[in-house]
């Protein structure tokens, strides 16, 4: 399968909506708890080790990082959430910036939410999903590190998360993903293509 996301190139980092690049074309954002496997997933998707490392450089972890695909399309790496060491005031400030970005960014087509398949749907994940839904965004969930589960366990988790979302009336698609095994990469590419009109 052709992968148009290997072209991704770092453009800029923004602390809040007003500093984001021009709000035109279409972009897709990636969000997840710290350590959920977001950098690894982005590296696998873009086939670039350096890309997500950019987002992890000191000073950039609390920023919205933009990666250009072409003149009209971007990928966006949002800061990892649920990181206990961040002071309360910083968390609140970031929450406000994130909510503004999700609610007001016209070019934002959808959100990819990454969760460790071994402990999905934490309180912070639920908050993120609710924010995205309130903002009217499309949502696709990656259950990451699926290689750490037995196949049957992984399938059960996928089923359980789908059911939990349906029970909460949250309209989101969900899949298993493993960066190390490149499992689920085609499914992810199909979703991104669909959302960006490729
Ligand atoms: P981030 O904080 O969300 O960007 O998470 P990272 O991508 O840095 O991954 C956190 C940890 O999980 C690292 O030790 C990775 O090596 C590991 N990890 C990430 N993805 C996978 C995966 O698909 N399989 C396995 N086994 N480990 C993974």
The pLDDT of residue 50 is above 80? no
Q: Are strands 138-144 and 173-176 parallel, antiparallel or unpaired?
A: parallel
User: Counting every residue, how long is the chain?
Assistant: 198
Enclosing H/E stretch for 153: helix 151-167
Q: Please tell me the predicted confidence (pLDDT) of residue 1.
A: 86
**Sequence-ordered list of residues with C-beta below 8 angstroms from that of 97, at least 6 positions apart, any chain:** 15, 16, 17, 64
- Closest-lying ligand 1 atom to the alpha carbon of residue 148: 26
Hey, whose CA ends up nearest to atom 9 of ligand 1? 37
d(CA 171, CA 4) in angstroms, rounded, equals: 26
The pLDDT of residue 112 is above 80? yes
Q: Are strands 138-144 and 73-77 parallel, antiparallel or unpaired?
A: unpaired
Question: Confidence class of residue 88 from pLDDT cuts 50, 70 and 90?
Answer: confident
Query: Ligand 1 pocket by C-beta < 6 Å: which residues?
Result: 32, 34-40, 80, 144-145, 147-148, 178-180
* CATH code at 4-196: 3.40.50.300
Q: Please tell me the predicted confidence (pLDDT) of residue 43.
A: 94
Hey, whose CA ends up nearest to atom 22 of ligand 1? 145
Q: Where are the domains of the chain?
A: 4-196
Q: Please tell me the predicted confidence (pLDDT) of residue 59.
A: 66
| pTM: predicted TM-score of the whole model, two decimal places | 0.96
Beta bridge partners of 68: 9, 74
In whole angstroms, how far apart are CA 189 and each of 77, 105, 113, 128?
A: 16, 22, 14, 22
More confident site: 48 or 176: 176
- For the chain, the average pLDDT equals 93
**Percentage of residues in the chain having pLDDT higher than 90:** 82
More confident site: 27 or 34: 27
The per-residue pLDDT for range 136-167, each reduced to its tens digit, is 999 999 999 999 999 999 999 999 999 999 99
- Give me the long-range contacts of 122-129 (CB less than 8 A, separation at least 24): 122/33, 122/82, 124/33, 124/81, 124/82, 125/32, 125/33, 128/31, 128/81, 129/170, 129/172
Nearest of 115, 144, 109 to residue 128 by alpha carbon: 115
In whole angstroms, how far apart are CA 75 and each of 5, 64, 123?
A: 9, 10, 25
34, 35, 37, 41, best to mutate for ligand 1 pocket (most atoms within 8 Å of CB): 37
Q: Please tell me the predicted confidence (pLDDT) of residue 74.
A: 97
Sheet holding 73-77: strands in order across?
A: 9-14, 64-70, 73-77, 26-32, 108-116, 138-144, 173-176
Is 70 strand, coil or helix? strand
The per-residue pLDDT for range 53-62, each reduced to its tens digit, is 767 776 667 8
The per-residue pLDDT for range 32-49, each reduced to its tens digit, is 998 999 999 999 999 998
The pLDDT of residue 84 is above 70? no
């Amino acid at each position: 399968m052709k992968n148009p996301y290997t072209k991704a190139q770092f453009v800029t980092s923004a602390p809040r909506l007003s500093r984001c690049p021009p709000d035109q074309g279409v972009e897709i954002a990636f969000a997840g708890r710290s350590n959920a496997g977001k950098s690894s997933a982005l590296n696998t998707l873009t086939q670039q080790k350096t890309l997500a490392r950019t987002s992890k450089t000191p000073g950039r972890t609390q920023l919205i990082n933009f990666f250009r695909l072409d003149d009209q399309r971007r990928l966006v790496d949002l800061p990892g959430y649920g990181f206990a060491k961040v002071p309360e005031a910083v968390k609140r400030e970031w929450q406000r910036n994130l909510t503004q970005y999700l609610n007001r960014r016209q070019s934002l087509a959808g959100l990819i939410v990454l969760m460790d398949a071994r402990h999905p749907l934490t309180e912070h994940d639920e908050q993120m999903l609710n924010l995205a839904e309130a903002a009217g965004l499309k949502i696709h969930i990656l259950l990451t590190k699926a290689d750490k589960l037995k196949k049957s366990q992984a399938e059960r988790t996928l089923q359980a998360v789908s059911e939990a979302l349906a029970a909460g009336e949250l309209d989101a698609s969900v899949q298993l993903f493993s960066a190390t095994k490149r499992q689920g990469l085609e499914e992810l590419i199909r979703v991104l293509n669909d959302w960006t009109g490729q």
